[in-house]
Structure 1
Amino acid sequence: MPLPGTPFDPLGEDHLREECGVFGVIGVADAASFVALGLHALQHRGQEAGGIVTYEPDGGFHQARRMGYVRDSFTSREVMETLPGSLGIGHVRYSTSGDKGPAVIRNVQPFFGEFALGGAAIAHNGNLTNAESLRRELIERGAIFQSSSDTEVIIHLMARSMGRSLVDRMEDALRRVEGAFSVVAMTRTKLVGCRDPLGIRPLVLGRLGQGWVLASETCALDIVGAEFLREVEPGEMVVITAEAGPQGHFPFRPQKPRFCIFEHVYFSRPDSLIGGRSVYETREAIGRELAREAPVEADLVCPVPDSGTPAAIGYAAQSGIPFGLGIVRNQYVGRTFIEPTEQIRNMGVRLKLNVNRALVRGRRVVLVDDSVVRGTTSRKIKDMILDAGAAEVHFRIASPPTAWPCFYGVDTPSRDKLLAASMTEEEMRAHLGVDSLRFISLDGLYRAVGEAQGRDPDNPRYCDACFSGDYPIAPSDRIAKTLKASQAAE
């Protein structure tokens, strides 16, 4: 049962959850309102909870953390008046680490700490692969943790650093962590953004009048009217003051970037830009490539809304098969059914998706979706299409088979729950009960995102571990657990 105030998502059991979203602003009046708008634009990246921290000289730091959607938590005058100041950061989350049940308020970011040099707050998108070992070390040295989030590890590492400034201490802390991180942080006078050396998670810089903005995606700049300047580079730390503006430097050993390729497929909003290219256009190109690789005789190309829509448009354009909205999404199910009864829960995907019967009846339908994880939702959608009178159902998937879990900030099921980890493509087709099933190849996905020669196995440009099992950063905690279990068994 979802926590009161959080949405019930009937598709949640069979979709990858989108890490988290971060936003920060400096040099504008009423910063909290801009942060709330930015978080609203990033709501797709995390829908369990959100938080905002601001600073103003007379009253110091102010913070508010709430469960549920931004629109329900940070739109009332009563809440926003408690967050004065011209400097603020915010965060929306899924529980990719720490608590694995419904989010609890103690794990909601940004996290705030008072240090000898003053206060600082930090919000983090990603996942630290050595957080558990660092946590044990810190607890043995006397640290007391208030949450189960890996982000709090960074706060404790900062507290033990001997750096001369809070920014220096943050650098020291981030040099000790492993994994994926895009961090937005603030002191009394500075807004700080930093990406891990591989740049796995996104972070962008924008200009808002006389102020400055950091955000997970460019769509969050658009909603506040900020000008997109550039992406924060992999391994770069940008320190911004209202007077001097952004100053960037590179505190980590240089490495070849490995940006998460699934940002192109699903996580980022289609109206965002990645690498100077429209996410929408990339997804349409994925659909075109998929049509070239996996043609089929059919009467209708239909997206599984909403994430499959651009790829379906591309598939239809390349194949010449008409495009149609054979499935309609109910945009309001999250608000309507806050605490669903068991009877409502058993309705499953019908709460959120409904078949356009007049369009699909008697037709051979190509369903285009972004991914297949466990396969449970795909089977339900297939049944709905057939119940509406479709003659055939063909699945086309705009990503390669998801066969490996992500350790870098995506809430992926364990490998034994991933359909592609134990089945071939033909076995998955039989399991789903569809007439045909095809995934885009990994080389095809690389071509669609701009790598004309496909994936270079010796030097891949992206992190594609969920498809290939090629992890660019060793999952230290997971390896240690496996080793410990093996030793215990012996």
Structure 2
Amino acid sequence: MSARSASARHSVDVVDGLDRDGDTLREECGVFGIFGHPDASAIVALGLHALQHRGQEAAGIVSFDGHIFHSERRPGLVGDSFSDRSTIEHLEGSAAIGHVRYSTTGGTILRNVQPLFAELASGGLAVAHNGNLTNALSIRRDLVRDGAITQSTSDTEVILHLAARSRAPLIVERFTEALRQVQGAYAIVALTNKKLIGARDPLGIRPLVIGELDGRYILASETCALDIIGAKFIRDVENGEIVVISEEGIESIRFAPAQPMRPCIFEYIYFARPDSVVNGKSVYSVRKNIGHELARESATAADVVIPVPDSGVPAALGFAQETGLPFEMGIIRNHYVGRTFIQPTQSVRELGVRMKHSANRAVVEGKRIVLVDDSLVRGTTSVKIVRMMREAGAKEVHFRIASPPITYPDFYGIDTPEREKLLAATHDLEGMRRYIGADSLAFLSIEGLYKAMGEESRNESCPQYTDHCFTGDYPTGLTDLAIAGPKRLAMLAEAD
């Protein structure tokens, strides 16, 4: 069997359209798969539309028609690549998987766009992955020394190589052996000539759900991808579980010892769409609860509460409800600014925040305002937003952050700067306030965050969530980091 890939027709690098300040938490990736449906590829494309917030650099779909695997992988948004009928018609078959990408390892080049495909002794295998393997570079070096030829710099390819080298007779057994050799956070969908496979890491750091449409099973990163196609939510894939979907139905396999789940708390703060339900919790409700807790901890004399759109909106609503202050859209976001907009000069780059956000002077002028944002990373965007509010006539600007200070980098699929570039790691609270130019600054406490999640407190001996960006408590081994160090690790991930 062979995979026809768009990579033969596209050889240019993806245009670098990222926020030049590097001052936002980068989206991760999103995965989607369906088995046994006559419109499989079209449904996957719709599902990827719903997951577009998880990655805007590139998208890909692999399908299987009973004889041949078909592949389309392209830079850019899902709608730019998979909205025309001819592309979907090329992706023939009743089984398909798809991926939207934001790169956290490997450069933004087409050969890293997923799903990745390989021919194994037992047949074709396509894999799409959300998360980050913390020992992928170490495994890759060993594989290359043993003669392996790699086609990408993505950590996902490690899984393909490990499965290919397994001596197990069945593809599911090979896949299971591969997962037992990797560390880190992952939600994976894989497609063979007979099965759709899903897997979630042993701690359940990354989300993965099972749905059903017209009697056919679906795997997706979030429930919002089920909603867009009218599918029914069945359940979450459990931590340390592999699900195997075939014509015979669905089978569950545990590949890791049972242990308490620790999902990533940033799914609730920032990453997941607010209309999704993650591990049984409404993301929208959690974010509003966060706003309530933030107000209880750090309310201030003000006239109006203003969210930094879009992710700050639910928390700002909760803050306004708790304080009794009016909620107003004092910042208007332009949703039509693409991530690939070219900013040719420094003077134009400095105006970039106004392309995405503009002040609503009628709401701001002469008011004491509370700005609510989901997080603070480097702080450079916050500086611009505070300045914009003052130029629009705000009398006072009080900044409230709907999460604790980010003092540690992430290694599980969130693209955060090195620690010395995190504002909260290098400044105290007063130093941060002066840096962004606000009249006051406050963060949600870690205790308040756990209360908003419905917990009495954080269990110090066995935390309920993966919260290392706030606490430094990394729940898995960090093999590559220990060997290379953070700066070298970043260089190797791009250049390997």
TM-score range, shorter chain: over 0.9
Deviation at 1:340, TM superposition (A): 3.9
User: Is 1:34 equivalent to 2:34 in the alignment?
Assistant: no
**Pick from 227, 231, 235: which aligns with 1:226?**
231
User: Is 1:297 equivalent to 2:301 in the alignment?
Assistant: yes
**Pick from 231, 250, 257: which aligns with 1:253?**
257
In 1, Cα distance between equivalents of 2:383 and 2:185? 33
Match of 1:480 in 2: 483
Match of 1:454 in 2: 457
Deviation at 1:256, TM superposition (A): 2.0
Structure 1 unaligned regions, length at least 5 = 486-490
In 2, Cα distance between equivalents of 1:226 and 1:6? 34
User: Is 1:468 equivalent to 2:476 in the alignment?
Assistant: no
1:265 counterpart SS class: helix
Deviation at 1:430, TM superposition (A): 1.2
User: Is 1:122 equivalent to 2:127 in the alignment?
Assistant: yes
Match of 1:317 in 2: 321
Contact 1:361/1:391 (8 A) holds in 2: yes
Contact 2:14/2:57 (8 A) holds in 1: no
Match of 1:415 in 2: 419
Match of 1:85 in 2: 93
1:162 counterpart SS class: coil
Contact 1:374/1:418 (8 A) holds in 2: yes
Contact 2:21/2:381 (8 A) holds in 1: no
Match of 2:443 in 1: 439
User: Is 1:274 equivalent to 2:278 in the alignment?
Assistant: yes
Deviation at 1:341, TM superposition (A): 3.5
Match of 2:336 in 1: 332
Match of 1:75 in 2: 83
In 1, Cα distance between equivalents of 2:78 and 2:91? 15
In 1, Cα distance between equivalents of 2:485 and 2:156? 23
Matched letter for residue 27 of structure 1: G
Match of 2:368 in 1: 364
1:14 counterpart SS class: coil
Q: 1:483 to 1:303 in 2, by over 3 A?
A: closer
Matched letter for residue 416 of structure 1: E
Contact 1:6/1:69 (8 A) holds in 2: no
Match of 1:263 in 2: 267
Q: State the Cα deviation string for residues 146-205 of structure 1 (Å, max 9, x = none).
A: 111111011000110011111110000000001111110010111000001100000000
In 1, Cα distance between equivalents of 2:477 and 2:395? 47
Matched letter for residue 88 of structure 1: A
Q: Map 1:170-181 onto structure 2 (within 5 A).
A: 170-181=175-186
In 1, Cα distance between equivalents of 2:291 and 2:45? 34
Contact 1:10/1:351 (8 A) holds in 2: no
User: Is 1:193 equivalent to 2:198 in the alignment?
Assistant: yes
In 2, Cα distance between equivalents of 1:262 and 1:283? 11
Cα RMSD of the aligned pairs, angstroms, is: 1.6
Match of 1:488 in 2: none
User: Is 1:14 equivalent to 2:23 in the alignment?
Assistant: yes
In 1, Cα distance between equivalents of 2:342 and 2:391? 28
Match of 1:96 in 2: 104
User: Is 1:52 equivalent to 2:61 in the alignment?
Assistant: yes
Match of 2:491 in 1: none
In 1, Cα distance between equivalents of 2:434 and 2:341? 35
In 2, Cα distance between equivalents of 1:345 and 1:332? 17
Match of 2:5 in 1: none
Q: 1:10 to 1:351 in 2, by over 3 A?
A: farther
Q: 1:282 to 1:11 in 2, by over 3 A?
A: farther
Structure 2 unaligned regions, length at least 5 = 1-11, 489-496
1:249 counterpart SS class: strand
Matched letter for residue 26 of structure 2: R
Aligned length: 476
Contact 1:40/1:70 (8 A) holds in 2: yes
> Mean alpha-carbon deviation: is it higher for 466-475 or for 5-14?
5-14
**Pick from 375, 389, 392: which aligns with 1:388?**
392
In 2, Cα distance between equivalents of 1:275 and 1:28? 26
Q: 1:277 to 1:66 in 2, by over 3 A?
A: same
Q: State the Cα deviation string for residues 228-267 of structure 1 (Å, max 9, x = none).
A: 01100000100001x2221112111222211100101000
Match of 1:156 in 2: 161
Contact 2:418/2:487 (8 A) holds in 1: no
Match of 1:133 in 2: 138
Matched letter for residue 364 of structure 1: R
Deviation at 1:19, TM superposition (A): 1.1
User: Is 1:211 equivalent to 2:220 in the alignment?
Assistant: no
Deviation at 1:210, TM superposition (A): 2.0
Matched letter for residue 80 of structure 1: I
In 1, Cα distance between equivalents of 2:20 and 2:147? 42
Q: TM-score, normalised by structure 1?
A: 0.95
1:462 counterpart SS class: coil
Deviation at 1:10, TM superposition (A): 4.4
User: Is 1:346 equivalent to 2:350 in the alignment?
Assistant: yes
1:143 counterpart SS class: coil
Q: State the Cα deviation string for residues 255-311 of structure 1 (Å, max 9, x = none).
A: 221110010100000000012221101100000000001110000100000000000
Matched letter for residue 441 of structure 1: S
Q: 1:438 to 1:235 in 2, by over 3 A?
A: same
Q: State the Cα deviation string for residues 391-446 of structure 1 (Å, max 9, x = none).
A: 00001000000110001111111111100111111211111110000000001001
Matched letter for residue 62 of structure 1: H
Deviation at 1:484, TM superposition (A): 12
Contact 1:179/1:408 (8 A) holds in 2: yes
- Of all paired residues, the percent bearing the same amino acid is 57
Deviation at 1:346, TM superposition (A): 3.1
Contact 1:27/1:210 (8 A) holds in 2: no
1:400 counterpart SS class: coil
User: Is 1:66 equivalent to 2:74 in the alignment?
Assistant: yes
In 1, Cα distance between equivalents of 2:486 and 2:281? 42
Matched letter for residue 74 of structure 2: R
